[in-house]
Amino acid sequence: MMHRSATILLLVFLLFTGCTKDADIIEAVDPVTDNNQVSTDLESDKPSTNMTAEQDDSLKASPIASETTNDHNENDAIAVTETEETDEVAFSNLNFEYIDTERDERIEKTVNQAYQKLTNDFKLDFSDAITFKIYKDQKEFWERVFGGENNGITTGFANHVEKIVHLTSPKDTSIKSEAEMLKVPVHELVHVLLPSNTLDIREGLAYYLADQLKDFSTDDIPENVVNIVTYQGEGDQIRMQYNLAGYKAKFIIEECLDMDYLKYKTYMTSPNDYAMLGYEHEADFSNALTAYLQSQAF
């Protein structure tokens, strides 16, 4: 008798939790699958977890994923864990390794949030593991990643083929402020998720999406805005090239494509297709971009 009451109580509990917390998800789940899931849940005695393990492929690209509690991952789909009180997410395919330095949860938080936003905005079907290696300081980062002498500019590096990101710890502020250092992991994540061989697109998009844009003057605007990133010049000049390429990405996404990230993704595959951006010839685009940069200058 006691056992039966307990079972009924458990069923009531399941119904209750199912109808409140995960209401949005249940609507999207096939009723047959849902029933199967409930019976699995009964056996595992974990009513609120694993409700949607098999739905991950569709969920991970939608905002619903952020509301999913799913820490039982039996297939190769990406698990998303979330704490009850906050909106923080943690994707199981993002790994963080700290080399001779303490864990820094700020990096993990910004990377996970950016990963969620980028895969959603750009509708990326991405499931590979990405490893972030964080070194204690600039010297260690350079020695381990490049060897030789530190160039005084680079504090992060992404190998988009192997999907490894190397980073100087944000606690080392010898090159940038801590706030700026904390944007670098997102910049490098953009390189892994949205790689491009076109320098202006590669660096401009990363700069723009990682919120690294800075003020500039009309004197900084180059003659040739078709190829802004040339790597000619000193550290500050190269940084300004990245910055202006960032404004170029902003111009294309916000002004030419009206925030349509999917169209930008198509543009990335044919960067000389100015018709896609609403301009007949390269010169028309170039003039419009120069005028835009002048309007943004201080």
CB of 240 to Zn ion, least distance (A): 14
Contact 113, 89 (CB under 8 A): yes
Residue of 265, 250, 257, 258 lying closest to 122 (CA atoms): 265
Contact 156, 168 (CB under 8 A): yes
CB of 293 to Zn ion, least distance (A): 20
| Range list of β-strands (E), 112-199 | 130-135, 156-159, 164-168
The residue (of 206 and 240) whose beta carbon lies closer to Zn ion is: 206
CB of 185 to Zn ion, least distance (A): 12
Q: Which one of the spans 16-24, 79-87, 192-200, 206-214 is the region binding Zn ion (CB under 5 A)?
A: 206-214
CA 48/CA 30 separation, integer angstroms? 17
| Per-residue CA distances from 234 to 151, 153, 184, 246 (Å) | 10, 10, 20, 18
The residue (of 65 and 238) whose beta carbon lies closer to Zn ion is: 238
CA 89/CA 118 separation, integer angstroms? 14
State yes or no: residue 206 binds Zn ion (CB under 5 A).
yes
| Interaction pattern, residues 35-64, with Zn ion; x per rule: CB under 5 A | ------------------------------
The residue (of 53 and 206) whose beta carbon lies closer to Zn ion is: 206
- Characterise 99 by phi-psi region: left (phi > 0), alpha (psi -120 to 50), beta (else): beta
DSSP string over 164-189: EEEEE-TT--SSS-HHHHTTHHHHHH
Site for Zn ion in 73-102 (CB under 5 A): none
Contact 198, 271 (CB under 8 A): yes
- Residues binding Zn ion: what is the number (CB under 5 A)? 2
The residue (of 91 and 208) whose beta carbon lies closer to Zn ion is: 208
State yes or no: residue 167 binds Zn ion (CB under 5 A).
no
CB of 38 to Zn ion, least distance (A): 47
The residue (of 56 and 203) whose beta carbon lies closer to Zn ion is: 203
The residue (of 199 and 276) whose beta carbon lies closer to Zn ion is: 199
Residue of 120, 159, 123, 157 lying closest to 138 (CA atoms): 157
Packing angle, helices 282-296 and 235-250, rounded to 10? 110
CB of 191 to Zn ion, least distance (A): 6
Packing angle, helices 199-209 and 261-269, rounded to 10? 160
CB of 85 to Zn ion, least distance (A): 35
The residue (of 22 and 203) whose beta carbon lies closer to Zn ion is: 203
| Interaction pattern, residues 175-204, with Zn ion; x per rule: CB under 5 A | ----------------------------x-
CB of 158 to Zn ion, least distance (A): 7
Q: Which residues bind Zn ion (CB under 5 A)?
A: 203, 206
